[in-house]
Amino acid sequence: MPNLDVSAIRNQFPSLSRRVGDSPACFFDGPAGSQVPQSVIDAVAEYYTTMNANGGGAFATSRENDAMLGRARAAVAALLGADDPTNIVFGPNMTTLAFQLARGLGKEWSAGDEIVVTRIDHDANVWPWVRAAEDAGATVRYIPLDPASGTLDLATLDDIVTERTKLVAIGAASNALGTINPVRTVADHAHAVGAEVFVDAVHYAPHARIDVGALGCDYLACSAYKFFGPHVGILWGRRDRLDGLDSYQVRPAADSVPGRWMTGTQNLEGINGTLAAVEYLASLGDQSPDAPLATRLDSAFATIAAYERTLSAKLVADLQAVEGVTVWGVTDPEHFDQRVPTIAITHERHTPQAIAERLGERGIFVWSGHFYALEVTAALDLDPHGVVRIGALHYNTPAEIDRLVDALRALDA
């Protein structure tokens, strides 16, 4: 497994050189969107200068555009562990794609059917299914969150996922607590009763290797702007289902996959940037001349996960040592393989918003609130203020964590 040269990595991200006053900025805001390397910026610009055209034309820029789209689908398929690039759908964002898919799936549901969501997910993996269930007259059931551990209560699966279940929607990792959910366990349970499985991998994608086969899902969505790319949404689905579901689309595009799920002209410059983001991630792995993209991604994510586990350990331990701070979610070092370095905290004397503002003044970028994880803050009884969310990525450093912790200790100064 190659070593992660964090200094060299940081030099690839122009935004990481930003300063706030006399201090370098600390970007712990990654859960809402990562920074991007220069190669991604260059790819977006390259699109405009070399292939800016719509697809399907009989001229050079259009043909180059079509070729790029094919390469991007192949790269994203490798990123997701999918064997058919034509099952890759691009769109504005994961939320829009989830609503679009829910509209198609919901037309197959009826009264008496049940849809299962969780209390740990982002609302983009809750509300599309709730609304589609309402339209169909189906019932929605929730897998509960255990507040003490910050993990799903799987003891409830037998009661909640039954022969009446049509779909189980689950996130691969919590965007609020950082918990990695046992997707395969839930998927196997769902499939055993004939239900389908949708996975929201938005928060998981920058931290760990995605493999749709290993996860056992029927559909999976993520967003490139969370894994160092532009604002592009991605949906993968089983070919038979994407072919068979009803999609709302203009007539010329309605008969082809993935075109029937990609409404209108796409963010093609962003898709070229997404291709570059996948290639950036692969550059962190095995660089053997004959190593295929999937192999390089395997190696890269093994390296990223190992480094980020050290960040998780330091963040949790150092934050727990700050007087007045509570760390929510998985805090046992023996179980850090069940979390990514996204840490939610509260302070007994300061609101999350006040903390975020004070840290921002010192050049430390964090988020406060619920981050659309409405079920999480409700289950933890943390409304209306929510939490402070501190998100580390592989370009963050232990020294930045030290600055963060020192700033938190200075809140009462």
- Could you tell me if 221 and 201 lie in one domain? yes
CB 181 within 8 A of CB 170: yes
Contacts of 98 (CB under 8 A, 6+ apart): 124, 125, 128, 198, 200, 221
- Could you tell me if 170 and 274 lie in one domain? yes
Please tell me the predicted confidence (pLDDT) of residue 287.
Answer: 86
- Could you tell me if 270 and 391 lie in one domain? no
- Could you tell me if 256 and 312 lie in one domain? no
Residue at 55 is within a domain = yes
Q: How do residues 177-206 score in pLDDT, each as one tens digit?
A: 999 999 999 999 999 999 999 999 999 999
- The residues that bridge with 390 in the sheet, in sequence order, are 343
Q: How do residues 362-381 score in pLDDT, each as one tens digit?
A: 999 999 999 999 999 999 99
Contacts of 256 (CB under 8 A, 6+ apart): none
- Domain end among 232, 257, 280: 280
- Could you tell me if 241 and 299 lie in one domain? no
- Total number of domains constituting the chain: 2
Among 162, 169, 195, 166, smallest CA distance to 183 is for 169
For strand 387-391 and strand 145-146, is the pairing parallel, antiparallel, or unpaired? unpaired
Q: How do residues 58-77 score in pLDDT, each as one tens digit?
A: 999 999 999 999 999 999 99
Please tell me the predicted confidence (pLDDT) of residue 413.
Answer: 76
Residue at 340 is within a domain = yes
CATH code (residue 194): 3.40.640.10
- Could you tell me if 222 and 310 lie in one domain? no
CATH code (residue 327): 3.90.1150.10
Among 184, 239, 178, smallest CA distance to 389 is for 178
CB 29 within 8 A of CB 364: no
Q: Does residue 256 carry a pLDDT above 80?
A: no
- Could you tell me if 231 and 342 lie in one domain? no
- Could you tell me if 11 and 50 lie in one domain? no
Residue at 287 is within a domain = no
Residue at 1 is within a domain = no
Could you list the residue range(s) of the whole structural domain that residue 304 is in? 6-37+292-412
- Domain end among 258, 280, 302: 280
Q: Does residue 294 carry a pLDDT above 60?
A: yes
- Domain end among 251, 280, 309: 280
Average pLDDT score over the chain? 96
